Chains A and B, each alone.
Chain A
Amino acid sequence: MALHEVLLQQLFNGLLIGSFYGLVAIGYSMVYGIIKLLNFAHGDIYMIGAFSGLVFLFIASPYIGAGWPALILGLLISMLLVGLLGVLIQRVAYRPMLKAPRLSILITALAVSMILYNTVMLLSAGRYRAFTVDISTESFFIGALRLTETRVVLIVAAFSLMFIMHMFITRTMYGKAMRAISLDRDTCQLMGIDVYKIIALTFFVGSALAAAAGIMAGVYYGTIHFYMGFLIGLKAFTAAVIGGIGIIPGAMLGGILLGLLEAFGTQIPFIGTVWKDVFSFAFLILFLIFKPNGLLGRSESERM
C-alpha cells in the first residue's frame, strides 16, 4: 500500500472509531449541560448496552437469527431498556443530590460506575464474551479503501443517530427545553417547564445513545467485557471537552476529531499503537491550554 492508501484507510478507521466516541460523548455533554455533572458512570452505561445486546441476541437468535434484522431489533430494545436504566440511575442516585455540592454528586457518579461494572463482572464471571453475529465479513474495495458490510452499516448508523440527535435538540420542544434548562434551571421552573422530567429525558436519550454505541462496538470488535466502558468513558469525556462540554454538536465533532487523531497518530513513526492514548490525552492537554472552552465553546454560551 502506498502512503496515501494507508492514510485513506486510517481516515475511514478514524471516522468509525470517532463516531463511537461521539455517540458516547453526546451523553456526557448533555448531562453536563443540564445538571453540570460529569457523569463518570456513562462509560459503564455503554458497557451495559453491549451486554444487553448480547443477552438479547442470546435469547432471540434461535428464533430470528443473528443477522441485521435481529441486530436492529436488539439495538432498539437495548436502547429503550438502557435508556430506562439511565432514568432509574438518575432518579435513585443523582436527583436527591441535585441541591448538594457538585463534588458530592461527582462521587455518587463514581459509585454508580463501580456498582455497574462490578455487577456485570459478577454476572459475566469476569470473562470476555464473544459477540457472535451472523454477518458477512467479506471485504470489498472502493478504490484503494478496504471495507466490509459491517463497517459501512455501522458508520452510516452512527452518523444517522447523531443526525437524529441533532434534529431532536434543535427542532423539538423537548430539545428547546433542554437547552433552556442548561441556561437557567430556576427560571425554567418558574416558566412551568417540568425540569425533573426534562432531566430524566436527557438521561434517557444519553443512555440510549451510549447503549447503541456499545452494541455497535460489540458487532465491530466481536468481543465485549465488563471493563470495556472505562477507557471509552475517558475518551468520550475527552471528546466532549475538545468539542466544548455541554454543546451537542461539539461532542460529535470532538469524538470524530479524537478518532482521527488516534488513527493518524499511530501512523507517525515511533508513536505506534502503544502510545495511542498518550498521544490523544497529550493532545487534550495542549488543546485545553490554547482553547480552554473547546472547539465550539464560547465563554458566555448557551451550553447545550
Chain B
Amino acid sequence: MLFNLKKHWILMLVAMMLVFGAFGCGEDAAPPADEDPADENGEAPAEFEGEVLIGIMVPTTGSEAADGTDMENAALLAVDEINAAGGVMGHRLVTTTGDDGCDPSMATAAASQLVSEEVVALVGGYCSGATLPTLAIYGEAGIPFVIAASNATTLIDENPGWGFMINSTGLDQAATAVEHFESLGVETIGVIDSGDAYSADLKEQTIIQWEEAGYEIVADDTVQRGEVDFSAFVTTIMSVQPDGIYWTGYQAEGALLIRQLREGGYEGVIVVGDGSSAQELIDLAGPAAEGVYCTGPPLTDFLPAAQSFIEGYEASFPREPGAYAALMYDATNLLADAMERAGSFDSAAIRDALEATDGFEGLAGPISFTPENTLARSNFVVLVAEDGRWALVE
C-alpha cells in the first residue's frame, strides 16, 4: 500500500500545503494594484505632497462577499481616477479595507481595526445589521462614514451624526413595494424576512404601510440567515394563497425561496427587496426567477450616467459591477469632494462638509442630506427578471 511508506504521505501533505499557499497568495496579490506607490510614481510622476488614508468597510467574505467585493472594487476605481487626476488637494488617496463579513461581531472588530489604522474617513456599509454597531465606534472616534448601501431605518436612530446614508432608507423602499403591489391589483400578501436588522425593518415598514393602505397580511414569517429549507413556509403559503409575496432578505436565501415557492406550485406575484437585487439571485434561482420583481436601488446597469463607469470598471476588474457598485463609486467621489470643500483632511471638517453637501451629482442622481443625514429623496426603482437579467419596470 502507498501509505506504508510513511514519508510519502508527509511529502504529499507538504506539497498540498505549498499548492494552497501559492493559491492564497495569488488571490491576495491580484486586485489592489493601486496600493503600491512605486507603480504610480514610475509611470506618471504625479507630485503628491502626502497621502491620505481612507477606510473601506464591506463584506469581502461570507454570503454577501459578491456585492462586497464589487463595492470594494468600485471604491478602488474611484480612488484610482481621483489619484490619476492629481489626488485630493495634492494628496494621494490610499485605502485600507476592513471585512465586516455581513456580521455584527466581525464588523465591530473590523471597525476597531480601521480606527486604529487612523483613517481620516470611511466609505462602505452593505449589510445594515453589520453597519449598525459600527456607527457608535466611528462616532466615538470622530470619523465620518459615507454609508453607500445600508439603509435600515434603525441606522437613523443609532447614528451619532458621523454617518451619511446615500441610499434611500427602508421607509422609501416599503412605499415603493406597496405602490407596486397595488398597481398589480394585489390585495393579500405574505411577508418573510431573514431575521437581521435590515430585512426585519423593511418587513415591519411594509406591514405598517400595507395595512394603512387597507389591505391584508395573510402570512408573516422569519427565517434564519443561511436557511436552505423553506418547505414549511411554502406549505403555509399554499394553504393561505396570498396574491403576492414580499421577501425582504438577501439573495442567497431569496433564490432558494423563489425556487421552492415555484416548485411548490405558487403562481402569485413574488417581489424581493434590494438585498436580493444582485444578478446572483437570478443565476441561483434559475428559470424560477422569471417574472420576479425587485424593489431595488438604481442598479448600475440602468443608470445612463454610469456607462463610462461600467467601462472603466470592466477594464480594471474581470467582472461586471454589481448592484451597489455605482453607489459605492458615488460615495467615494462624494467623500473626495467633501475633502476638497472642507479644504482640509481634518475628520471634523470633512464631516461638516458632508453635512453641507448640496446636490452633489452622483451616478445615481443628486445627493443632499436631510437633518438626519439620510438621502433627501427616494432613489428606489422596480425591476423585473426577464430572460435571466434584471430589467427596469417603467
A2 to chain B, nearest CB (A): 8
Q: Is the CB of A122 within 8 A of B235?
A: no
A148 to B260 alpha-carbon distance, docked (Å): 11
Given contacts A272-B221, A273-B227, contact A92 B232 (CB under 8 A): no
A243-277: CB near B (< 8 Å → 1, else 0) gives: 00000000000000000001100110000111011
Given contacts A128-B284, A274-B221, contact A228 B228 (CB under 8 A): yes
B248-269: CB near A (< 8 Å → 1, else 0) gives: 0001100110011011110000
- Residues on B with C-beta less than 8 A from A122 are 20, 23-24, 27
A128 to B60 alpha-carbon distance, docked (Å): 13
Q: Which of A1, A148, A277 contacts B263 (CB 8 A)?
A: A148
CB-based nearest B residue for A221: B228
The interface-forming segment of A9-17, A165-173, A181-189 is A9-17
Q: Is the CB of B226 within 8 A of A231?
A: yes
Q: Within 8 Å of chain A (Cβ to Cβ): is B324?
A: no
Q: Within 8 Å of chain A (Cβ to Cβ): is B363?
A: no
Give how many A-B residue pairs fall within 8 Å (CB-CB).
113
A146 to B260 alpha-carbon distance, docked (Å): 12
Q: Is the CB of A126 within 8 A of B231?
A: no
Q: Is the CB of A130 within 8 A of B27?
A: no
Q: Is the CB of A137 within 8 A of B226?
A: no
Q: Within 8 Å of chain B (Cβ to Cβ): is A217?
A: yes
B244 to chain A, nearest CB (A): 18
Q: How many residues of A contact B (CB 8 A)?
A: 41
B9 to chain A, nearest CB (A): 6
A267 to B255 alpha-carbon distance, docked (Å): 23
CB-based nearest A residue for B262: A137
Q: Within 8 Å of chain A (Cβ to Cβ): is B229?
A: yes
Q: Which of B223, B232, B259 contacts A13 (CB 8 A)?
A: B232
- Residues on B with C-beta less than 8 A from A125 are 65
- Residues on A with C-beta less than 8 A from B20 are 119, 122
CB contact list, B239-287 vs A, under 8 A: 239, 251-252, 255-256, 259-260, 262-265, 280, 283-287
- Residues on A with C-beta less than 8 A from B224 are 273-274, 276-277
B215 to chain A, nearest CB (A): 22
Q: Is the CB of A130 within 8 A of B222?
A: no
Q: Is the CB of A121 within 8 A of B227?
A: no
Q: Within 8 Å of chain B (Cβ to Cβ): is A132?
A: yes
Q: Within 8 Å of chain A (Cβ to Cβ): is B305?
A: no
Q: Is the CB of A9 within 8 A of B235?
A: yes
Q: Which of A6, A91, A222, A267 contacts B9 (CB 8 A)?
A: A91
Q: Is the CB of A126 within 8 A of B61?
A: yes
A146 to B223 alpha-carbon distance, docked (Å): 23
A13 to B66 alpha-carbon distance, docked (Å): 31
Q: Which of B61, B231, B251, B265 contacts A263 (CB 8 A)?
A: B231
Residue in B13, B223, B251, B263 whose Cβ sees the most chain A Cβ within 10 Å: B263
Q: Within 8 Å of chain A (Cβ to Cβ): is B288?
A: yes
A286 to chain B, nearest CB (A): 21
CB contact list, B12-30 vs A, under 8 A: 13, 20, 23-24, 27
Q: Is the CB of A128 within 8 A of B229?
A: no
- Residues on A with C-beta less than 8 A from B230 are 273
Q: Within 8 Å of chain A (Cβ to Cβ): is B62?
A: yes
A218 to chain B, nearest CB (A): 10
Q: Is the CB of A10 within 8 A of B232?
A: yes
CB contact list, A267-304 vs B, under 8 A: 267, 272-274, 276-277
A107 to chain B, nearest CB (A): 18
A9 to B239 alpha-carbon distance, docked (Å): 11
- Residues on A with C-beta less than 8 A from B27 are 122
A277 to B195 alpha-carbon distance, docked (Å): 14
- Residues on B with C-beta less than 8 A from A159 are none
Q: Within 8 Å of chain A (Cβ to Cβ): is B113?
A: no
Residue in B62, B232, B233 whose Cβ sees the most chain A Cβ within 10 Å: B232
Given contacts A223-B284, A227-B226, contact A13 B65 (CB under 8 A): no
Q: Is the CB of B13 within 8 A of A222?
A: no
A259 to B284 alpha-carbon distance, docked (Å): 25
B280-307: CB near A (< 8 Å → 1, else 0) gives: 1001111110000000000000000000
- Residues on B with C-beta less than 8 A from A17 are 229, 231
A126 to B66 alpha-carbon distance, docked (Å): 8
A267 to B234 alpha-carbon distance, docked (Å): 11
A123 to B23 alpha-carbon distance, docked (Å): 9
Q: Within 8 Å of chain B (Cβ to Cβ): is A160?
A: no
CB contact list, A105-150 vs B, under 8 A: 119, 121-123, 125-128, 130, 132, 137, 139, 146, 148
CB-based nearest B residue for A10: B235
Given contacts A122-B24, A128-B255, A222-B256, contact A267 B229 (CB under 8 A): no
CB-based nearest B residue for A131: B284
A197 to B228 alpha-carbon distance, docked (Å): 37
Given contacts A139-B265, A223-B252, A227-B226, contact A263 B24 (CB under 8 A): no
- Lowest 3 CB-CB distances: which A-B pairs, in order? A266-B232, A1-B239, A274-B222
A interface, CB within 8 angstroms of B: 1-2, 5-6, 9-10, 13, 17, 91-92, 119, 121-123, 125-128, 130, 132, 137, 139, 146, 148, 217, 221-223, 225, 227-228, 231, 262-263, 266-267, 272-274, 276-277
